[in-house]
Structure 1
């Protein structure tokens, strides 16, 4: 016995309720004929507002064009096809997979649309993890290659310093060699600066080794030194920071927190780089990036502040969403802060943000102590 239109639609809603999918129908020109979904939050317009509208009124130009091309191909070939797209909805940016097909007895082209945001989040998170693993391998190799010549330089600088001390001692008390003695002092100052430079390089190499390990090993794996993780991150971020702002940091004595020190360093590095990128280059004396660490209510509070351009209220609400970015296409994946948020939550902590447009931003990390 044939089913009535009402019973068919009722069955369709049951299926949609079980699968969390959407169904749209379009005519050949790309106008909505109907829309079915159990969750209107996944729609860019109220369900009743779709009928008769053109696809370009509901979706961005690129997705609308993709949908129109799919409609024309399905009508011409009579074969189903599939594509993926993303769109801004009430809950933020979501990813969807659309299956376009002809349905006997129905006008136009039907689209079965599934929300694949979780899948996409996982895929891009794995991609980011692969990139970090590759970067870690590269960092370990660079650290090893730099350490060898650095040892020669340090040894030779020490040898030269000892030789200058002997010459200085031989010239002491001989007025006729006063100009030469003065020149020797200048050389000694230059050598001291070079020694400071090698110490700086050695510290950066050490930070690269920690970053390359990815996860801390040994009996201290579950204990993270906040100061050490922050210092490592500042050292790694300085090439990006120094042309944009003055770096200031104030760290009180705080107990260790539970978690991976290298993962915590990844959070700090990301926040510091975000702070740097919020400030244009060229005026480092006029801008500041500040890191503060203190104990608060049995926990450790870390604040990273900047005097950058700030974040608009509408973007601030979405700052930790996967794929959300205000950077141009091809610059960043929009996963950095989402991953930071996941790391902090996994450590039993909180990551929050406050920002004022034109004045700057403050990220706060609150972590439980051991």
Structure 2
């Protein structure tokens, strides 16, 4: 009789890959989740079970809405459906309130060959996000510093005629008061009352103008506490706010041409979008020398095109040389003299638009001008 040795069991072909993934994840704080098309967990991996909110087995088969908060679950499910439909990877960020405060995460979604669902690589980016928010605030403050003189002028003008009108009203009311008190030779003057009413209307218009200026500044400079993906931005309102704020810098350099179509809202922060437009408008102003506003233009166009919202900011300034155009979105790259500007403005603009799943591109011809183009998805 021949004896046959029983061969050892052959491991499942995915087991070595899972072991390798476990080793790689053990070197990081990253997590990997896999979902089916309906948003149910197919698998979950982490370098340490401590990084998971529950044991790995507790995730399997459950729907994402049973584990995550509604907003994050909705964003993840939308991402799953887009990746399955388009076959292209995508990335989004979200935040959660955990013990010790808010934590920020990035989620990279992609199809995995020979697998039924979509895999997500989730990383804790709280440190990076904290630095990014600090840079955003620093860029806002730098822009506000550039605008300071113009804003002061925008506020002092209406304050001047408010003060003048109030003095006129005070004198007119004194005359009416004397007439009503029966002062000799005086009678109530209807004309004086009408003039006081007109002065009050002008004063009210002045206070509205100041309120609008201050409101735009507050919107632009405020720190945000909204979670990414939960906010819908009105692109037209963000662009109008930025134009209002940049106008003191623009009006002495160029004519402003503003054309806008009706466009749908986009997913993202309106104040951050305003920060992008303000930076681009200030760059356009600084590309044009003062003294000949009738000979130069800065154009701002807003339209819908191929399922995207498109904003173009075009100037007739000195243009950007080709060698600089290649590096224009690099952090700290600047062609300005030392001590003028941080070199972060366009890099921050680029990162804001990319985070909104959009594109920021530039075209320029030396001596003719520059066009920055922002494209944002509406889904």
TM-score of the aligned structures, taking structure 2 as reference length: 0.51
Q: CA deviation at 1:200?
A: 2.3
Matches for 1:129-278 after TM superposition, within 5 Å:
129=136, 131-132=138-139, 160=169, 195-215=204-224, 217=226, 221-278=230-287
1:333-352 → structure 2 map (5 Å cutoff): 333-352=342-361
Judging changes above 3 Å, is the alpha-carbon distance between structure 1 residues 136 and 247 closer, same or farther for their aligned structure 2 residues? closer
Q: 2:292 aligns with which of 266, 280, 283?
A: 283
Which structure 1 residue ranges, 5 or more long, are not aligned? 1-120, 168-179
Determine the structure 1 residue equivalent to 2:302. 293
1:54-98: per-residue Cα shift (whole Å, max 9, x none)? xxxxxxxxxxxxxxxxxxxxxxxxxxxxxxxxxxxxxxxxxxxxx
Q: 1:128 aligns with which of 130, 135, 149?
A: 135
Gap change, CA 1:205 and 1:130, over 3 Å in 2: closer
Aligned residues: 229
Whole-angstrom distance in 1 between the partners of 2:257 and 2:329: 25
Deviation string 1:291-334 (CA, Å, 9 cap, x unpaired) is 00000001100000111111111111111111111100110111
Cα distance 1:286–1:195, how it changes in 2: closer, same or farther (>3 A)?
Answer: farther
2 CA distance for matches of 1:329 and 1:124? 24
RMSD: 4.5
TM-score between both structures, scaled by the size of structure 1: 0.52
8 Å Cα contact 1:215-1:261 kept in structure 2: no
**TM-superposed deviation, 1:188:** 8.0
1: CA distance, partners of 2:237 / 2:142: 21
Is the CA contact (8 Å cut-off) linking 1:215 and 1:263 kept in structure 2?
no
CA distance in 2, matches of 1:261, 1:251: 17
Q: How far 1:242 sits from its partner (Å)?
A: 1.4
1:326 match: secondary structure: coil
C-alpha offsets along residues 238-265 of structure 1, whole Å, 9 cap, x if unaligned? Answer: 1211111111211100000000000000
CA contact (8 A) 1:245 1:283 kept: yes
Deviation at 1:283, TM superposition (A): 1.2
Q: Is 1:244–1:280's contact at 8 Å kept on the other side of the alignment?
A: yes
Change (3 A) 1:326 1:296: same
- Residues 129, 367 of structure 1: alpha-carbon distance in 2 compared, 3 angstrom cutoff: closer
SS across alignment from 2:258: strand
SS of the residue corresponding to residue 272 of structure 1 reads helix
* SS of match in other structure, 2:341: coil
Offset of residue 234 of structure 1? 0.9
Distance 1:295 1:241, change over 3 A: same
